[in-house]
């Protein structure tokens, strides 16, 4: 059943290994009241997304070793009723993956008013809506966002023998009926591209859909954004350049860049304690890799029209962060929307250091967490100590495993940071969660 994919992991504490952390509580320290000293490791599988309910219950999306119905890549919660929405893929009878969206109530039970009709089910529905971009086309949804009475998901579609291209679909939130779908390359003849994140621009009227992802341009993977009209799925040509932006980080890595990717996106849709002219501004995060093969956290800042916001970041609205000494990749991002940290950004992913803090193994991946203020500066009230009375703005968490990769992040009702991902032990992936103090 799909319920295997939606888990309140706070009820599935299987931890026997502790992470390195200071015993005192400070912003960025592990919340030792959660799991085993701030960590939960659960069943075999991987987590790709996380959301929190107003009760602080944690909902995650992912897959296990033998997923039964649907592999979920993203999750969101309807703030009006607490219902849970998952986006991912199912495999059809011909062996091709299709977009899939599931709706569950706040207790994790599939909504029988949503999705495809159950055969001979007296009008009941499966709780899962699917759509195909072609009989010989594979598609997977990687991102999800709620747009009032509709649901928007994005990812990629790939027809046999052709390129992997942007794919976007919009559904009725009540019954899962498909309103429209589009699958158009960001870049003509790009061999590989996909949408990794979606945010709704609620400042524009009517509202717009902003996506972040990657596209191959001149044989290089690029960090890209696009904005679409909600009613039709057509590009909004008033955004960026003809509806699109491409961001270059080579001036920051000081080398010719090899690959970039936008993995996450947030829009400041309310004032969040910031000056009014910053409402609607966009922040995207991902990674950039220099020509020596070294990846860095990469952040890009835009105004509400998709133009670089050079008042933020370190160079023309961009910046990079090196957390570990070998490798750094940002995969997800969340914004504080209330409290003392309103407007700040938390970015999570993975990092490698020459020697991890809590293991004798070198060059292993660890959870990486960074917090930035709205202007793009690392928040030096947060994170590990720099040894000189300040904090670094970043946290590295090792799980005494071969590798640990953070793939999702949410800010709960108490402004704690909940990070989801997976660790690898003896070659097998295990679902992992960590919770940090703010």
CATH number of 73's domain:
2.120.10.10
Distance CA 215, CA 27 (A): 36
Closest C-alpha among 199, 191, 254, 251 to residue 225: 199
What does pTM read for this prediction? 0.92
Instruction: Give the whole-angstrom CA distance, residue 336 versus residue 333.
Output: 10
Residue closest to 197 by CA, chosen among 247, 139, 261, 148: 261
Walk along the chain (438 residues) and give the pLDDT tens digit of each residue. Answer: 333 333 322 222 223 333 333 456 899 999 999 999 999 998 889 999 999 999 999 999 998 755 557 999 999 999 999 999 999 999 999 999 999 999 999 999 999 999 999 998 899 999 999 999 999 999 999 999 999 899 999 999 999 888 899 999 999 999 999 999 999 999 988 889 999 999 999 999 999 999 999 999 988 899 999 999 999 999 999 999 999 999 999 888 666 667 899 999 999 988 666 666 688 999 999 999 987 888 999 999 999 999 999 999 999 999 999 999 889 999 999 999 989 999 999 999 999 976 544 444 557 899 999 999 988 999 999 999 988 888 999 999 988 777 999 999 999 999 999 999 999 998 899 999 999 999
What residues make up the domain containing 419? Answer: 2-436
Report how far residue 288's alpha carbon sits from residue 250's, in angstroms, rounded to the nearest whole number. 8
Beta-bridge mates of residue 403: 365, 424
How many Cα atoms within 13 Å fall on the side-chain side of residue 46? Answer: 15
| Rounded Cα–Cα distance for residues 31 and 33 (Å) | 5
**What is the spatial distance between Cα 311 and Cα 270, in angstroms, rounded to a whole number?**
19
**Residues 163, 137: Cα–Cα separation, whole Å:** 11
Domain count, the chain: 1
| Number of other residues whose CB lies within 10 A of the CB of residue 93 | 5
Q: What strand order describes the sheet that includes 164-172?
A: 137-147, 150-159, 164-172, 178-182
For 318, the 3-state DSSP assignment is strand
Residues 6+ apart with CB under 8 A from 198: 143, 144, 145, 152, 153, 154, 209, 210, 211, 212, 265
Burial 17-55 (b: 16+ CB within 10 A, else e): bbbbbeeeeebbbbbbebbbbbbbbbeebbbbbbbbbee
Is there a contact between 396 and 411 (Cβ–Cβ < 8 Å)?
no
Quote the CA–CA distance of 44 and 423 in Å, as a whole number.
10
Say if residues 198 and 210 touch (Cβ distance below 8 Å). Answer: yes
Backbone angles phi, psi at 107, to 5 degrees: -90, 0
Backbone angles phi, psi at 278, to 5 degrees: -90, -5
């Amino acid at each position: 059943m799909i319920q295997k994919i939606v888990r309140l992991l706070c009820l599935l504490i299987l931890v026997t290994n502790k992470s390195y952390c200071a015993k005192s509580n400070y912003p960025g320290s592990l919340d030792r009241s959660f799991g085993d000293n701030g960590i939960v490791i659960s069943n075999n599988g991987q987590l790709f997304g996380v959301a929190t309910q107003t009760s602080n219950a944690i909902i995650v999306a992912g897959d296990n070793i033998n997923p039964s119905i649907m592999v979920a890549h993203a999750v969101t919660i309807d703030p009006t009723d607490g219902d849970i929405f998952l986006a991912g893929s199912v495999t059809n009878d011909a062996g091709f993956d299709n977009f899939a969206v599931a709706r569950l109530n706040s207790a994790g039970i599939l909504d029988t008013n949503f999705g495809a009709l159950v055969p001979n089910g007296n009008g009941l529905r499966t709780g899962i809506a699917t759509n195909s971009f072609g009989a010989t086309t594979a598609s997977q949804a990687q991102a999800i966002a709620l747009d009032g009475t509709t649901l928007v998901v994005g990812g990629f579609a790939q027809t046999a023998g052709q390129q992997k291209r942007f794919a976007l679909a919009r559904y009725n939130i009540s019954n899962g009926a498909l309103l429209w779908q589009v699958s158009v390359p960001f870049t003509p003849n790009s061999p590989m591209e996909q949408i990794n994140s979606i945010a709704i621009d609620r400042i524009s009227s009517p509202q717009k859909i902003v996506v972040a992802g990657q596209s191959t341009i001149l044989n290089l993977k690029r960090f890209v954004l696009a904005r679409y009209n909600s009613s039709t799925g057509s590009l909004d040509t008033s955004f960026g350049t003809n509806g699109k932006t491409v961001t270059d980080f080579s001036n920051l890595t000081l080398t010719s860049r090899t690959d970039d990717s936008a993995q996450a996106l947030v829009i400041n849709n309310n004032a969040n304690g910031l000056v009014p002219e910053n409402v609607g501004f966009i922040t995207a995060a991902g990674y950039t890799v220099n020509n020596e093969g070294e990846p860095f956290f990469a952040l890009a800042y835009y105004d509400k029209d998709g133009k670089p916001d050079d008042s933020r970041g370190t160079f023309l609205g961009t910046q990079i962060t090196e957390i570990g000494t070998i490798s750094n990749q940002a995969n997800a991002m969340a914004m504080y929307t209330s409290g003392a940290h309103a407007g700040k950004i938390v970015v999570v992913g993975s990092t490698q250091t020459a020697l991890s803090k809590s293991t004798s193994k070198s060059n292993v991946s660890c959870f990486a967490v960074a917090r930035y203020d709205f202007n793009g500066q690392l928040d030096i009230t947060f994170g590990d100590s720099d040894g000189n009375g300040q904090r670094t703005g970043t946290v590295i968490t090792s799980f005494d495993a071969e590798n640990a990769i953070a793939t999702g992040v949410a800010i709960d009702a108490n402004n704690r940071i909940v990070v989801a991902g997976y660790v690898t032990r003896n070659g097998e992936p295990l679902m992992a969660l960590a919770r940090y103090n703010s």
